[in-house]
Structure 1
């Protein structure tokens, strides 16, 4: 059993959770340095939201599902549980959501600048599309469970 599976099974036992409620295990951000910073913000309860480009070929996260947050070395840091999931055009993401993402100075301007750059790269490199204000994104809020 690898460390991620063991982490999840220990969590399920401790919290009386069905192991099938795991959405997945993933690192936030585009590289290991981002993953370390963002997993730390989540673990400390500062980051309670995330936004990603909507990919119609992938499953949309579900309210109530659990996920394991990984650091830059793909080691489990904590478990989160989705509270809300919404799909909307990038231009409609609120300042409140940007603040909940917990990054930088937590301002909407900071959030927008960082995410426009990252989403433009992601659309070009991974989705073979061009990012715009109307690109649909998935906005999630979550709580750290353990």
Structure 2
């Protein structure tokens, strides 16, 4: 599927600014369908990625940019716009961010439990070791623009 072409059509349909840019089209891994539904329901309004795992040529998310959220089959289900991007130490992720991620019981304790496991695996796949004491995270807050 040509995500850029889809975005161009959505820009026209939704009356978005001509200079609006599609930043990325992505899914939330093994929980793609579940987390995409949370975005559609406006429960999930934040996400976290590991700053340490961005490549040298890989740009960080940009405020104002648009992303397509995909389901497990890589079909677009939602268009979001990034409202805020912060880089913080892993241990400084707070309860508000955990709540906005919308997963489980939405507590920081739940967030840490699932993200500890997730980042251990993610770092290992990149040949690195996840250390909560030193890891930096990219925190994004976003809002739902359209359900596709």
Same fold (TM over 0.5): yes
In the aligned structure 1, how far is the partner of 2:61 from the partner of 2:85?
A: 7
Q: TM-score, normalised by structure 2?
A: 0.89
Task: Tell me, yes or no, if the aligned pair for 1:3 and 1:75 is still in contact at 8 Å.
Answer: no
In the aligned structure 1, how far is the partner of 2:35 from the partner of 2:42?
A: 11
Task: Tell me the equivalent position of 1:96.
Answer: 96
Task: Tell me the equivalent position of 1:15.
Answer: 14
Give, in angstroms, the shift of residue 20 of structure 1: 5.5
In the aligned structure 1, how far is the partner of 2:55 from the partner of 2:112?
A: 23
Task: Tell me the equivalent position of 1:60.
Answer: 60
Q: How many residues align?
A: 141
Question: Which consecutive unaligned segments of at least 5 residues does structure 2 have?
Answer: none
Question: In structure 1, the residue corresponding to 2:98 is in which secondary structure?
Answer: helix
In the aligned structure 2, how far is the partner of 1:92 from the partner of 1:71?
A: 30
Question: Which consecutive unaligned segments of at least 5 residues does structure 1 have?
Answer: none
1:39 matched to 2:36? The reply is yes
Extract structure 1 runs of 4+ deviating beyond 6 A: none
Q: TM-score, normalised by structure 1?
A: 0.90
Task: Tell me the equivalent position of 2:25.
Answer: 25
